[in-house]
Amino acid sequence: MSMNRRSFLQLTALTGGGLALNFYRLPFAAGEEAAKSDLTPQAFIHIAPDGVTTIMARASESGQGMRNMLPMLIAEELDVDWKDVRVKQADLNEKIYGTQFSGGSANTPEGWEPMRRVGAAGRQLLITAAAQTWGVPEAECTTQPGKVLHSGSKRCAGYGELAAKAASLPAPALSSVKLKDPKDYHIIGTSLPGIDTPAIVTGKPLYGIDVKLPGMLYASIEKAPVFAGKVKSANIDQIKVLPGVRHVLVIAGGITPAAYTPWEPGMEPGIAIVADTWWQAQTARAALKVDWDLGPAATQSSEGFRKRAKELLEAPPAKTVHKYGDVDATLKSSAKVVEATYEYPFIAHMTLEPQGSTAHWKDGKLEMWSTSTLPANGVELVAKTLGIQQSDITTHMVRSGGSFGRRLQNDYLVETAWIAKQIDAPVKLLWSREDDIGHDGLRPGGTHGFKAGLDAKGKLTVWRQHLVTFGDDKHLASGGGIGGDSYPASFPPVYALYTSAQPLMLRTGALRAPGDNAYCWVSQSFLDEVACAAGRDPLEFQLDLLSNKKVPWTSGEHDAVGDHEPTGQSVLIPERFKGVLELVAEKSGWAKRTKEAGCGMGIAAWFCHLGYFAEVAEVSVDKDNKVRVTRVWAAGDVGSQIINPRAAESMAQGGIMEGMGHLAQEITLVDGKIQQSNFDDHPLMRMRQVPKIEVYWRKTDYAPTGLGEPTLPPILPAVTNAIFAATGKRIRTLPLSKSGFSWA
């Protein structure tokens, strides 16, 4: 969404003579502003008399680095020394802060200009205060980190000395302030350690799981092994008398299993046990004997999904997503037709900190400590479930141990709030690892049928793609849809993208790089396959394809900030896509790669969430088909500026490692029951399996964009294309074990 540049600063004095800079964030298009006119000012900056600067972090933090990045933008333009900055997490209050959301790699493009303008306006106020104090023109005053200087008289004043004076001045409009020339940056573009790193490495209380309140109780919930199964009967009276148990609550839930399950369907049925300690709650839970009504979801199985997908692929597609040209005629006239089916499974998010939160119900009001990355939606859902006003809910945003899209859904938040209201005491709900996998909002699986045509010269003539996913006649499962602009749309001379859906009674949702984490694998793998069928180098083949200009590309993604129309960042720009491919090819020595038995290199690239990444993987495969990724080169284009290089490199490496993990992961269902339960059967990458990863940046003349999503998708096809290069065996089904491969 757009950020309005007419946002402005409002100045108020704080206790002790400090300076607070409040600005209205109007994150809506011009036509929507009237409907959202109740937005109120917020304090972003407080400069204490001793010059120490506190900057509010408005976004929730789950490892993306938002608690560093957004304050860095403000601090740069405010012109303070980073060592004098303290960062404080803001509570949830969208009437004051505007939209508070961490997801979709959105905070960088949305915050890049507005946050800098907040800092620049603060700097201007301090200059004005100094100029009035000294009786000199503002134009003769400049700043150095933490102080204002007057060139003529050589006078100097620290920000702390000027804070009280600045507090009495009218604030300038954000649109009027002057931003720094990038050559003068001393914070932006500098590698800075994470604000929370010292607490993380020393084990200090920091995460949602660490929250403790006086008199707090602990909760654990037993749910049916099948989605939305209901309690018929249970030995509740026996559980109530076990050591430490305070309450045993039956949750009726509000989910009716159907072919399509909404993004946030509400609470699953179950039995909540509340005890003095979590261990006591878990121990009592183990003694539960529940007779479940498993419902219609018990008829589902992975094998059934696979059989139905095959039937749907052989039938005419249900819906046309995007089509141009005569596909059937072009396939018939092509010199060669390449056909393949690609299949990938459901997978879980596997956040290292399982889901959970803390809540306290008192005097008809609710106070929550939330790890949600979409906390406002959580408050709305809680209020609806509890039958209270949203204004009666206070939410503290607490760092979470990973999200990857999982904490966009707020089921665990609603459960905690519901329990807290029943017992009228502070309570912490914590899911076990088995709960986290068995009741995750899974990344949905999918099956893609491809056909591509080549002319006599090996050039692509037509691309036909049919995705079989999940849903009903009106909706596709959350995370299971595909956009009409999904690459390579618009580049083949003739193109068609179709979908068909089969019913799914299961919760699904966004996983890091939603959709793209799968669609990149199938598309870039099939492109590699088509290039090989044409007898052409995969890099050269794709660069040639990107030179086509056939049908205009359109996208539903939002552009960066401002009052202007979209600048094109939200659409694929072929030159940027080609640029990262060419850079990674150069750095990896792609043109000089050698063919050795059991060794190979694969290349892939993708555009998503406004960012471009290309990656080359080098693999070795032994006689037992054990795969080792020995080296990865990555090239990214996320605009003109890397705000925190150390954090950016870590984000790229993390996305690559997570994407490699996807290659070995699978969630399967038998009689509606998820068969996996922990890291042993849904594994993450081990440290010994992580290759050397080199990250390079291609800076382009576009506003900076985020890194959470675009680093991940290309590594999957880069690795599987490399396995093909090493063995001659094409990976068309994930996980790797389905094709006889495993990690070394």
Placement of tokens 């303290």 in the chain: 86
What's the pLDDT score for residue 468? 98
Classify strands 393-397 and 365-370 as parallel, antiparallel or unpaired: parallel
What 3-state class would DSSP assign to 83?
helix
User: How many whole angstroms separate alpha carbon 378 and alpha carbon 436?
Assistant: 18
Predicted pLDDT at 546: 96
Which secondary structure element, helix H or strand E, spans residue 109, and what is its range? helix 107-134
| 32 pLDDT more than 50 | no
pLDDT at 3 over 70: no
Strands 42-47 and 53-57: antiparallel
CB 330 within 8 A of CB 453: yes
Residue 265's pLDDT band, with cuts at 50, 70 and 90, is confident
Residue closest to 386 by CA, chosen among 368, 374, 405: 368
Q: What is the largest CA-CA distance in the chain?
A: 85
% of the chain exceeding 70 in pLDDT? 91
pLDDT at 42: 36
β-bridge pairing 147-150 and 230-234:
unpaired
pLDDT at 236: 98
Q: What's the whole-number average pLDDT of the chain?
A: 90
State pLDDT tens for residues 415-429: 999 999 999 899 999
Q: How far apart are CA 447 and CA 504, in angstroms?
A: 14
| CATH class of residue range 9-188 | alpha beta
Give the residue extent of every domain in the chain: 9-188, 215-296+350-438, 302-347+442-552+562-743
pLDDT band, residue 254 (cuts 50/70/90) = confident
Q: For 326-372, write each residue's pLDDT tens digit.
A: 999 999 999 999 999 999 999 999 999 999 999 999 999 999 999 99
Rounded CA-CA distance 631/259 in Å is: 43
Number of H helices, E strands in the chain: 17, 29
Distance CA 334, CA 137 (A): 74
State mean pLDDT over 113-132. 91
For residues 67 and 196, what is the distance between their CA atoms, to the nearest angstrom? 8
- The pLDDT of residue 23: 30
Both tokens of 578, joined, read 């080609």
pLDDT grade, residue 115 (50/70/90)? confident
Q: Which residue carries 């306290």 as its tokens? A: 360
Tokens at residue 534, please?
Answer: 């044409």
pLDDT at 437 over 60: yes
pLDDT at 433: 97
How sure is the predictor about 549, in pLDDT bands with cuts at 50, 70 and 90? low
Q: Using DSSP, state whether 573 is helix, strand or coil.
A: coil
Nearest CA among 639, 643, 661, 644 for reference residue 710: 639
pLDDT at 157 over 70: yes
Higher pLDDT, residue 99 or 65: 65
- Is the pLDDT at 500 greater than 60? The verdict is yes
Classify residue 644 as exposed, middle or buried by CB count within 10 Å of its CB (0-12, 13-18, 19+). Answer: buried
At a CB cut-off of 8 Å and minimum separation 6, what does 284 contact? Answer: 239, 242, 244, 245, 248, 273, 275
Mean pLDDT, range 541-569, rounded to an integer? 56
What is residue 171's predicted lDDT score, i.e. its pLDDT? Answer: 78
**Averaged pLDDT for residues 199-213:** 95
Find out whether 531 and 537 touch, Cβ atoms under 8 Å.
yes
Q: How far apart are CA 296 and CA 227, in angstroms?
A: 9
For strand 85-89 and strand 53-57, is the pairing parallel, antiparallel, or unpaired? parallel
So what's the pLDDT on residue 427?
98
- At residue 10, the pLDDT reads 27
Contact between residue 21 and residue 37 where contact means Cβ atoms under 8 Å apart: no
Using pLDDT thresholds of 50, 70 and 90, give the confidence band for residue 563: very low
Q: Which helix (H) or strand (E) holds 437?
A: helix 433-438
Average pLDDT on 711-717 reads 98
pLDDT digits (tens, 9 = 90+) for 104-113: 899 899 889 8
Q: What is the mean pLDDT of residues 685-694?
A: 97
Q: What is the DSSP string of 318-341?
A: SEEEEEES-HHHHHHHSSEEEEEE
39 pLDDT more than 50: no
Q: What is the pLDDT of residue 568?
A: 56
- In this prediction, residue 35 carries a pLDDT of 31
Phi-psi group of 220: left, alpha or beta (phi > 0 → left; psi -120 to 50 → alpha; rest → beta) = beta
pLDDT at 562: 29
- What type of residue is 238? Q
pLDDT at 386 over 90: yes
Confidence at residue 99, expressed as pLDDT on a 0 to 100 scale: 77
Q: Which CATH class is domain 302-347+442-552+562-743?
A: alpha beta
569: which DSSP letter?
Answer: T
Whether residue 378 is predicted with pLDDT greater than 90 in this model: the reply is: yes
Query: What is the chain's length?
Result: 744
Asked if the model's pLDDT at residue 464 lies above 70, the reply is yes
Torsion, Cα 65 66 69 73, to 10 degrees, reads 180
The CA angle 399-559-695, to the nearest 5 degrees, is 60
Measure the CA angle with vertex 27, ends 23 and 29; round to 5°: 130
What is 215-296+350-438's CATH topology?
A: Aldehyde Oxidoreductase; domain 4 (3.30.365)
Q: Is pLDDT at 179 greater than 50 in this prediction?
A: yes
Q: How confident is the model at residue 28 (pLDDT cuts 50, 70, 90)?
A: very low
Residue 285 CB contacts under 8 Å (≥ 6 apart), including other chains: 220, 222, 273
Q: Would you say the CATH fold of 302-347+442-552+562-743 matches that of 215-296+350-438? A: yes
Residue 515 predicted with pLDDT over 80: yes
Judged by phi (left if over 0) then psi (alpha if -120 to 50, else beta), residue 82 lies in: alpha
* Confidence category of residue 14, pLDDT binned at 50, 70, 90: very low
